[in-house]
Amino acid sequence: MATTLSTCCYIHYNSHKTTISAQKLKAINQNDKINNKNCIKRLQKRKLRTLAKPNNLSVSISLFRCVESGNLECALTLFEKMIIRTDPFVWNVIIRGLTDEGLFREAVDYYYRMQFEGVRGDSFTFPFVIKACGGLSLLMEGGKVHAKVTKIGLDVDVYVCNALIVMYAKLGLIECSEKIFEEMNVKDLVSWNSMISGYVSAGDGFSALTHFRKMLALGMKYDRFSIISGLGACSFENFLRSGKEIHCQIIRSGLGSDPMILTSLIDMYGKCGQVDYSESVFYRISGRNVIHVNAMIGAYVLNSKYNESLSCLEKMIRNDNIVPDTITLINLLPSCSKLGELKLGKSIHALAIRRGYCPHLVLETTLIDMYGSCQRVKEANLMFIRMKDRNLISWNAMISAYVQNGHGRVAFELFHDLLNEPFVPDEMTITSILPAYAEFALPKEGKQIHGYMTKLGLNSNSFVCNSLIYMYAKCGDLQGAKRTFDLKSSQRDIVSWNTLIMGYAIHGLGSISLRLFSRMLEEGVIPNGSTFVSLLSACSIAGLVEESWTFFNSMKKKYGIDPGIEHYGCIIDLLGRVGSLDQAKHLIDEMPLEPTARIWGSLLAASRHHRNIELAELAVHKISSLQHENTGSYVLLSNMYAEAGRWEDVERINYLMKKQGLERNVGWTRIESKGETCQFTNYDQSHAKIAIIYDALDIILTKIREVSNVDVSRFKPKDRRRQRENHPMFHSVRLAICFGLISSSVGNSILVRKNIRMCEDCHKAVKKISEITNREIVVGDTKIYHHFHNGHCSCGDYW
């Protein structure tokens, strides 16, 4: 009887939970009958010798039962009490139990301990040891086990080979999985499923579907795991037709009620852009659970149907009485980010805390992203600081939050902190930090980050290449942007073209932007909405009125692209440039889209340029109703009041800003000289050569007055104190230019970066400085690059 129980334990222990073959079972039973009497005699003798110690056979049975019931601690205690552990069975039970509980390191340790005690592993040992090596991502240890398997001749065992296929696929070595699979003499369903899922995990959906079809052609009967992997391949490759074929097979085979398969169907249709099909599957499920709802919400979010995702949650709670879980909240938070639903995002955060879902790495990282997108950097930073565990994605989310909200300097500091962590920056890290370099860096710093990316081997990534093009253009290095574009022809896509077109646009070189567009069409690249944003921006900045209207009108007629809010913003910029303020206001009133702060900002800029205070007041009112923290609009209106001598209105704007907790951005200008980056603020006194700089500025200002015979300042208030406070004579851009003049060789061009818009007085002054010094002076502000040469600016005096 005892021997029969032991045999049953072996059968239950089977790693794939399949019944043992009839032949093998018969052999075991015969062996049991032959040795039964001898076994009992040996046990009796052992019992007489060690009456106080547990019997190994009974302990083995108890050990197996403990593992089966999930009481691993009890099993380990019993294992350590065993006197004789020469039977591989007891080791296999322990290794299996540890592996099933995810204790991979302990499983591998017990395997080595088993070898040390002279117990030889068998076909039941190695599948779980191999699984543990895969779980720990231990390629070297996995290779050793593979070598051991080959040495003892178990490399032909189907279960061992299946485990090796899964391990190598998990470690990213799909070629090794392929080799093992192809060399297998016997392949079962698990072999095919392991290979198909391995391809999916490696991102090769095409090969996964090829093997799925080959499996069917060989007459293999698929199961739920085959179907789920096949649907995953369709999702990854966006193969809608193949997904529908698998759906038909699901219906024919009667697997249409399987909850995991239904979830995979919803996910597949959502990732293929067919939300209607996802809904059809979803609403036909009779007993919906939270997993189905999570898949449906995810499908809505993937297809930018954010309101529908929120409605799905509401219906889930109201109709199905389903409690949201962690995945539900993670799927919903992007909708809050895109819709700007900060209140709902905070509610989700509160729900996560109440239900004890936090700490949770993915959920907390998603919350950081949500707060960053909703312009709540403090909350995002607080979440980041309080996280017990952080991964690279968490760091990337926090860096991106700072960059999105204009805190480039803090993003730089956080990026440098990341370099001291045990994480290696990836392409998402670089694409997150590069916009900060684009906004604040100078060419030298841009080249440094480019060199660092090359060292990491990330410069071949298309997203990184496009970010590099943008960064170089925004750093003032158009040649660097063009060089990167030309060198990366294999990674070049529509985003690359759009970025370079925009790069030339912000430098006022609209004609080159238009030539690039023509070249893009010649190469067969189809323009998208972003292409026309770049083109219209180029036309607006360069003052190409007719071309701008031509492109705007061709969007819908020729390419079927509906003009978006950014396209209307470019046209309003253009109308403001030519002084058609009434037409711009009429276009805003008649446009089919709700005007945003960006639209009213364009009207405000035009009103400032043409001294229309009434229209500027309207624009500021609209902006403040849409964005409560838009400091720039108040500052611009305050400057217009100051120029007009309306000091009471200036005081009113200052009081309003103070009441709302808004502070003026501190203006600074940066310049590189002889490998050194210097930063100046208005009326700066901190630089080591500040006395020489002010002396040079005095000479230049005197020279300007001699040439122009006018005062470059337009401020004429009655109050002389206010005149001194608002005088632009010692603004940071002038100090930086003077430093550049005295620090560089005669005739060299000067490049400076400014963190806010350059004022009109400084613009006029720099034009004169370029004329009297016979130098090209390039000033990059928050909107465009001004190229000053011989008293002229590339912006055409409109910016």
Please check whether residue 138 is in contact with residue 131, taking contact to mean a CB–CB distance below 8 angstroms: no
At a CB cut-off of 8 Å and minimum separation 6, what does 541 contact?
Answer: 505, 506, 508, 510, 784, 795
The two counts, helices (H) then strands (E), for the chain are: 42, 6
Two structure tokens written together for 13: 């222990």
Give the C-alpha separation, 540 to 731, whole Å: 28
Counting residues of the chain whose pLDDT is more than 70, the rounded percentage is 88
Please check whether residue 731 is in contact with residue 682, taking contact to mean a CB–CB distance below 8 angstroms: yes
Lowest-confidence region among 98-112, 113-127, 546-560, 696-710: 696-710
Give the C-alpha separation, 243 to 268, whole Å: 7
Give the residue, 6 or 542, on which the prediction is more confident.
542
Lowest-confidence region among 325-329, 506-510, 717-721, 764-768: 717-721
pLDDT the model gives residue 37: 41
Two structure tokens written together for 59: 């302990």
How large is the angle between the packed helices 224-237 and 205-217, nearest 10 degrees?
A: 140
Q: Give residue-wise pLDDT tens across range 113-160.
A: 888 888 888 888 889 888 888 888 888 888 888 888 888 888 888 888
Q: Which helix (H) or strand (E) holds 415?
A: helix 408-418
Please check whether residue 446 is in contact with residue 480, taking contact to mean a CB–CB distance below 8 angstroms: yes
How large is the angle between the packed helices 529-542 and 545-559, nearest 10 degrees?
A: 170
Q: Which helix (H) or strand (E) holds 678?
A: strand 676-681
Helix (H, G, I), strand (E, B) or coil at 690: helix
* Banded model confidence at residue 13, pLDDT cuts 50, 70, 90: very low
Q: Give residue-wise pLDDT tens across range 61-71.
A: 777 888 877 77
Please check whether residue 203 is in contact with residue 236, taking contact to mean a CB–CB distance below 8 angstroms: yes
Q: Which helix (H) or strand (E) holds 466?
A: helix 462-474
Q: Give residue-wise pLDDT tens across range 162-193.
A: 999 999 988 888 899 989 898 888 888 999 99
Query: Does the structure show a pLDDT above 90 at 288?
Result: no
Q: Give residue-wise pLDDT tens across range 602-619.
A: 888 888 777 788 888 888
Whether the model clears a pTM of 0.75, i.e. scores above it, the answer is no
Query: Residue 258 burial by CB count (10 A; 0-12/13-18/19+): exposed, middle or buried?
Result: middle
Cα of 190 vs its chain's centroid, Å: 34
Quote the mean pLDDT of the chain: 81
Query: Does the structure show a pLDDT above 80 at 57?
Result: no
Two structure tokens written together for 133: 């090596």
Query: Does the structure show a pLDDT above 60 at 88?
Result: yes
pLDDT the model gives residue 54: 40
Lowest-confidence region among 214-218, 452-456, 652-656: 652-656
Give the C-alpha separation, 537 to 501, whole Å: 9
Where along the chain do its domains lie?
Answer: 587-664, 668-793
Q: Give residue-wise pLDDT tens across range 551-606.
A: 988 988 888 888 888 898 888 888 888 788 888 888 888 888 888 888 888 888 88
In the chain, what is the straight-line distance between the N-terminal and C-terminal CA atoms, in Å?
Answer: 94
Q: Give residue-wise pLDDT tens across range 345-369.
A: 899 899 899 888 888 899 999 999 9
pLDDT the model gives residue 627: 61
pLDDT the model gives residue 706: 53
Please check whether residue 666 is in contact with residue 681, taking contact to mean a CB–CB distance below 8 angstroms: yes
Q: Which helix (H) or strand (E) holds 585?
A: helix 581-590
